């Protein structure tokens, strides 16, 4: 290592916001940087010379399994065995950091091997900044979910209390109206919980997909039929050319994508307007089928467009304020499209918004190579 390179390393080591700890083959700490010492609320000199396993559990799974005994401490050398990449580092994995006052933190970390005159050494980098960002995102998510849950729960509790307290003095029509409100808010809670479960499955990659060839026109017609009650004050125009190739997708997830987009188009456009669903084949490599949903609503502002697929994102205007929604639908829709190896985009102007989705075409080669259908997680 040249003097200049050594100086750069020392500067990065001392000033990195992420924790860095270097240990030898016996698992003893050689040195650590200030960020790692601060994370443990200790002095760097008090950490050096002690076993790395006093401060880190490298075998962290992030979960405790009551049916299995606690895993034995894993050395860094063992962790890197067979998992080290060509550039000498391993992929980021969760570890447990034993902090002060008995507080254990699950944090992402990577491990690197180096060699010098003293022999092989191991560098563990704990991604403090990334962990803090994840924690902040989780805190904001919980806060938003709590707010979304509180609104319908307040209505349910309020009207239920009114019926219990003064039911004998309330006329039958008012009682039916109050019960109707309770049911509507309970349905709203159910939708929110279902959306949250969908988000959880998508983000943990536990969404099971059964991929097969699907007739897009038949899927669209089923969704339109299912939404016919909501769309009774709108016109639905379906423009799908004959001979359109089948799509290579999961039937349930494809219908969920179509339902979210068409339902949104109905909700956010005035009565007596038209929602148009179009489709076409894209004959290129790879071959895709494209479909779009266009409404005649007020449009989406240019400033808001970049946020349209974010979690709990809803444009602040009079129409959205009077229309119920969790703000998760488009986030789920985009996640499902990506899971199907497709892509989605949106264009908007006053009086018209179009969501365009591309998903793989079910070519004969795909079907022959993978059989009639297959399941992935």
DSSP, residue by residue, 101-155: GG-EEEEEEEEEEEEETTEEEEEEEE-HHHHHHHHHHHHHHHHHHHHHHHHHHHH
Query: Average pLDDT in the 187-214 region?
Result: 79
212 — pLDDT class (breaks 50, 70, 90): very high
DSSP, residue by residue, 159-207: HHHHHHHHGGGS-HHHHHHHHHHHHHHHHHHHHHHHHHHHHHHHHTT--
pLDDT at 348 over 90: yes
Nearest to 106 by CA among 71, 48, 59: 59
As a whole number, the mean pLDDT across the chain is 80
pLDDT at 372 over 50: no
Strand blocks (E) in the chain: 19-24, 29-32, 56-57, 93-98, 104-116, 119-126, 209-214, 235-239, 247-250, 274-282, 288-295, 343-349, 352-360, 373-376
Task: Please state, as a whole number, how many other Cβ atoms lie within 10 Å of the Cβ of residue 365.
Answer: 9
Report the percentage of the chain scoring pLDDT > 70. Answer: 75
Q: For the chain, how many residues are written?
A: 377
The H or E element spanning position 261 is: helix 251-267
pLDDT at 121 over 70: yes
Structural domains of the chain sorted by starting position, each given as residue range(s) with its CATH number in brackets = 3-126 (3.30.450.20), 133-203 (1.10.287.130), 209-376 (3.30.565.10)
What local confidence, expressed as pLDDT, does residue 8 receive? 82
Angle at 313 between CA 312 and CA 319, to 5 degrees: 115
Tell me: cis bond preceding 286? Omega within 30 of 0 counts.
yes
Query: Average pLDDT in the 93-103 region?
Result: 77
Query: Average pLDDT in the 318-336 region?
Result: 70
pTM score, whole prediction: 0.57
Distance CA(61)–CA(21), nearest Å, equals 21
Residue in the block written with tokens 């994995």: 93
Q: pLDDT for 284-300, tens place per residue? A: 878 999 999 999 998 88
Distance CA(207)–CA(209), nearest Å, equals 6
Helix (H, G, I), strand (E, B) or coil at 47: helix
pLDDT at 63 over 70: no
pLDDT at 363 over 90: no
Distance CA(239)–CA(157), nearest Å, equals 46
Distance CA(105)–CA(330), nearest Å, equals 33
């Amino acid at each position: 290592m040249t003097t200049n390179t050594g100086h750069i390393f020392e500067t990065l080591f001392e000033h990195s916001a992420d924790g860095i700890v270097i240990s030898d083959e016996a698992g003893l700490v050689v040195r650590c940087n200030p960020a790692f010492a601060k994370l443990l609320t200790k002095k760097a000199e008090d950490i050096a010379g002690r076993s790395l396993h006093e401060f880190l559990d490298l075998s962290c799974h992030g979960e405790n399994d009551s049916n299995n005994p606690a895993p034995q401490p894993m050395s860094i050398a063992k962790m890197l065995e067979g998992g080290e990449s060509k550039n000498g580092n391993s992929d980021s994995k969760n570890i447990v950091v034993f902090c002060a006052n008995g507080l254990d933190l699950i944090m992402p970390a990577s491990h690197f091997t180096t060699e010098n005159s003293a022999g092989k050494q191991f560098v563990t980098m704990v991604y403090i900044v990334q962990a803090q960002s994840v924690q902040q995102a989780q805190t904001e998510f919980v806060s938003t979910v709590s707010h979304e849950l509180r609104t319908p729960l307040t209505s349910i509790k309020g009207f239920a209390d009114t019926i219990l307290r003064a039911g004998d003095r309330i006329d039958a029509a008012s009682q039916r109206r109050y019960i109707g409100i309770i049911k509507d808010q309970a349905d709203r809670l159910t939708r929110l919980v279902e959306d949250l479960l969908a988000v959880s499955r998508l983000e943990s990659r536990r969404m099971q997909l059964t991929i097969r060839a699907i007739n897009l026109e038949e899927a669209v017609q089923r969704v339109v039929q299912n939404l016919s009650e909501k769309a009774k004050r709108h016109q639905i125009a379906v423009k799908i050319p004959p001979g359109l190739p089948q799509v290579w997708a999961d039937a349930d997830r494809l219908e969920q994508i179509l339902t979210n987009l068409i339902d949104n188009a109905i909700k956010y456009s005035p009565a007596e307007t038209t929602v148009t669903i179009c489709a076409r084949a894209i004959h290129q490599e790879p071959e895709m089928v494209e479909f779009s949903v266009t409404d005649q609503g007020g449009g989406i502002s240019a400033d808001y467009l970049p946020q349209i697929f974010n979690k709990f994102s809803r444009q602040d205007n009079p129409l959205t304020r009077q229309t119920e929604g969790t703000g998760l639908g488009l986030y789920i829709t985009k996640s499902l499209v990506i899971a199907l190896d497709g892509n989605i985009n949106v264009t908007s102007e006053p009086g018209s918004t179009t969501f365009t989705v591309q998903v793989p075409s079910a070519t004969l080669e795909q079907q022959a190579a993978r059989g009639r259908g297959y399941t992935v997680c």
